[in-house]
Amino acid sequence: MKRTTILDLAKLLSLNPSTISRALNDHPDIRPETRNRVKEAAKTFHYRPNLQARFFRQKNSGLVALILPELNMFFIPGLMDGVNAIVKDANMSVIIFVSDNSAERESEIVDHCLSWMVKGVLLSLAENTTHIDHLVPLEEAGIPVVLLDKIIETNHFSTLAIDDRDAAYQAVNHLASQGKKTIMGLFGPAGLSMTRLRMEGFQQALTAAAIPFSTYDMICAENSGQYISSFEDHLRSTPYDALFVMSDELLMQVIPVLYRLSLFPSSLSIVAISDGIVPYQLYPAITHVRHSGFDIGKAAASLLLDHIENKKPAMHIKLPVFLKEENSVF
Amino acid sequence: MKRTTILDLAKLLSLNPSTISRALNDHPDIRPETRNRVKEAAKTFHYRPNLQARFFRQKNSGLVALILPELNMFFIPGLMDGVNAIVKDANMSVIIFVSDNSAERESEIVDHCLSWMVKGVLLSLAENTTHIDHLVPLEEAGIPVVLLDKIIETNHFSTLAIDDRDAAYQAVNHLASQGKKTIMGLFGPAGLSMTRLRMEGFQQALTAAAIPFSTYDMICAENSGQYISSFEDHLRSTPYDALFVMSDELLMQVIPVLYRLSLFPSSLSIVAISDGIVPYQLYPAITHVRHSGFDIGKAAASLLLDHIENKKPAMHIKLPVFLKEENSVF
DNA sequence: ATGAAAGCGCTAACAC
DNA sequence: GTGTTAGCGCTTTCAT
């Protein structure tokens, strides 16, 4: 059974294809009577627009690309939800790509987005992406890009992330204000700008609190989780009174270690940067600086739509974050 | 700067557009020499295929739709990852939709998939979807559908999920084999077939172990989490020696309650159906029947591709699950 | 091994 | 307010 097309409807109603098209798209020129006739016929004959044809004709795609380095349980679902909420309200759809944290793959995906003629790109960078040269073709094609979460600041594209430095600062400042002196910071991959900023915030807070700082108080755990065991050895041999953890991912890895060493919940104060779910799995709940994937997704998608509609200069947005303090009383 | 098209290349090389097209697509008819000339020109002039045009011409879209009821941190990221892994290897892309657990929205999305001329649909049903009438148009259009995770069994479409009944059976059987007698089962929304099957497995295991069963030993928590508090009251007043939790989502909600009542980790044995992450956040880790969103996503996407390539009858696949026992020794 | 030509379904000038 | 017409970029018969 062939699919009903605009031409079919045109013949059926002895009208011109363009009239059908206009009627279906609520063009003001069309008489309401005609419009209704057309829409009725469309309904009875199960007409469905061929988006492929429409977008081809219109030289755009109604698609927003979301490129993510990986799909994990932290942050990503919320982020996607936020993106989706905004994009669907703009009558567009989300086409999703995963770079598997590979800069080369990311580059291929960007190419593919060009081929798809997407209307915009939301991109969270792969871990080993060190420059944004591969995005130049998007810029040349006039396709707006918003970098989110894992970003590199550049004049060419807007970026949106939380205020990483301040997040770490607030967290560590809280520990300092509790009188904690020996503080261990646990960080993610050292290559990420996100990590560097959080390390800066960490150090700045220590400095501000006049807490003597040595590099031994920071550990960068690369992706694998194998570093966690060296971290365990370190913890075993060195007494800390507080621990700063820069992400939910690390928090989740480190918690079993702390249980094993009986450092949690009793002797070690913990503060994390978190989306606020994992901290409540623990008892007592963990004080954390709260961020939200959903908010970031929403904000980034809104910004992208803004860029799609109005050509405007790139901007760098830092979403503020707030400390969510938990009572550590038993 | 206009985008380079096949026509541009044709003029440039004094060849016919069709030759260019064939050369770029490695058609065997084309002489290697010509092919290389064309590909070189394509590279130097930054030719990018217009997928919109190609797919329009070919009457398909290179898109697989993934329709999910919601984006949560359990299961979904893994599922998406699995889907994506398979789909990208088949040179197709994933277009994602979220039904927000609304049957009406799901219906609209299905319509939209038709308009997109997607090559196949992976669908996890909304909570209040009770029939699959809205999928008939897909069937009529010859677009394969695979229902996954949240499913309704039907003759019309393939389904893929874990063996829910067996998962619950194994879990409760394990508790029974440990000599547990008073067992509380915590379940999700009663409307889901997934829930009903897990309840069946729960009861069957109790029956098999000759454990007297009363309906008071089961609670269905509807989505909101407000039921959790009534569950807390119930737990406070009734002494159980074991708890079965049917999902990670519930497990995560219930853990803080158990801590609060001091039922965990000491007095109450817990078994859950889980993807195996949350159980290790706790100490001691929780014995669970392990399933995997990634595996389900991969299997469902593979099945869908199979349906896309070869017209074959619908099948119902139940992925097996296994008990992952943890030592509860302190 | 390459060329010629048609057409996928839709929209947007431009006419009337 | 509706019709006419052309064409988006690509693939694919069919012919040579």
pLDDT tier at A214, thresholds 50, 70, 90? confident
Say what the pLDDT of residue A330 is.
37
C-alpha B41/C-alpha B18 separation (Å) is: 15
Protein-to-nucleotide distance from the CA of B41 to the C1' of C1, whole angstroms: 19
Average pLDDT for chain A: 93
Q: In which band, very low, low, confident or very high, does the pLDDT at A329 lie, cut at 50, 70 and 90?
A: very low
CA distance A254 to B86: 32
Distance separating alpha carbons of residues A116 and A137, to the nearest angstrom: 13
Contacts of residue A301, defined as CB under 8 A and 6 or more positions apart, other chains included, come to: A64, A82, A83, A85, A86, A87, A122, A146
B11 touches strand D (CB under 7 A): no
Residue of chain B whose alpha carbon sits nearest to that of A79: B71
Q: How far is the CA of A194 from the C1' of D8 (A)?
A: 43
Q: Determine if strand D comes within 7 Å of the CB of A128.
A: no
Helix axes B17-24, B6-13, angle to 10 degrees: 110
Q: Which of A39-48, A145-154, A263-272, A306-315 has the lowest mean pLDDT?
A: A263-272
Quickly give B54 CA vs C2 C1' distance in Å. Answer: 21
Burial of B209 from C-beta contacts in 10 A (0-12 / 13-18 / 19+): middle
The percent of residues above 90 in pLDDT, for chain A, comes to: 79
The partner residue sitting opposite A115, judged by closest CB among B48, B78, B141, is B48
Q: Is B296 helix (H, G, I), strand (E, B) or coil?
A: helix
Question: What does each of the 330 residues of chain B score in pLDDT, given as a tens digit?
Answer: 789 999 999 999 999 999 999 999 999 999 999 999 999 999 999 999 999 999 999 999 999 999 999 999 999 999 999 999 999 999 999 999 999 999 999 999 999 999 999 999 999 999 999 999 999 999 999 999 999 999 999 999 999 999 999 999 999 999 999 999 899 999 999 999 999 999 999 999 999 999 987 766 888 887 655 667 778 888 888 888 899 999 999 998 888 888 888 888 778 899 999 999 989 888 888 999 999 999 999 999 999 999 999 889 999 999 999 999 987 543
Tokens representing B105?
Answer: 């929205």
List bases, strand D, within 7 Å of protein CB.
1-13
Q: Which of A4, A56, A70, A71 to mutate to test the interface with B (most CBs of B within 10 A)?
A: A71
Report d(CA B76, CA B69) in Å as an integer.
10
pLDDT of residue B329: 41
pLDDT at B75: 94
Residues in chain A within 8 Å Cβ distance of B80:
71, 96
Q: Are A251 and A231 in contact (CB under 8 A)?
A: no
pLDDT the model gives residue A223: 62
Torsion of CA A93, B114, B67, B202, to 10 degrees: 170
Q: What is the mean pLDDT of residues A306-319?
A: 95
pLDDT given for residue A235 in this prediction = 84
- In this predicted structure, what is the pLDDT of residue B281? 84
Estimate in Å the CA A55 to C1' C5 gap, whole number: 25
Of A76-90, A163-177, B314-328, the least confident: B314-328
Strand partners, A271: A244, A287
Average pLDDT estimate for A23-36: 94
Return the pLDDT at A328.
53
Of A59, A114, A280, the CB nearest to B256: A280
B266 contacts chain A (CB < 8 A): no
Report which DSSP code applies to B182.
S
Give the mean pLDDT of A245-260: 90
Given an 8 Å threshold on Cβ–Cβ distance, is A52 in contact with B56?
yes
Structure-block tokens of residue A117:
């003629």
> Tell me, what's the pLDDT at B328?
53
* Per-residue model confidence (pLDDT) at position B84: 98
**Cα(A64)–Cα(A88) distance, rounded to whole angstroms?**
10
Cα separation, A257 vs A253, whole angstroms: 8
* pTM of structure: 0.95
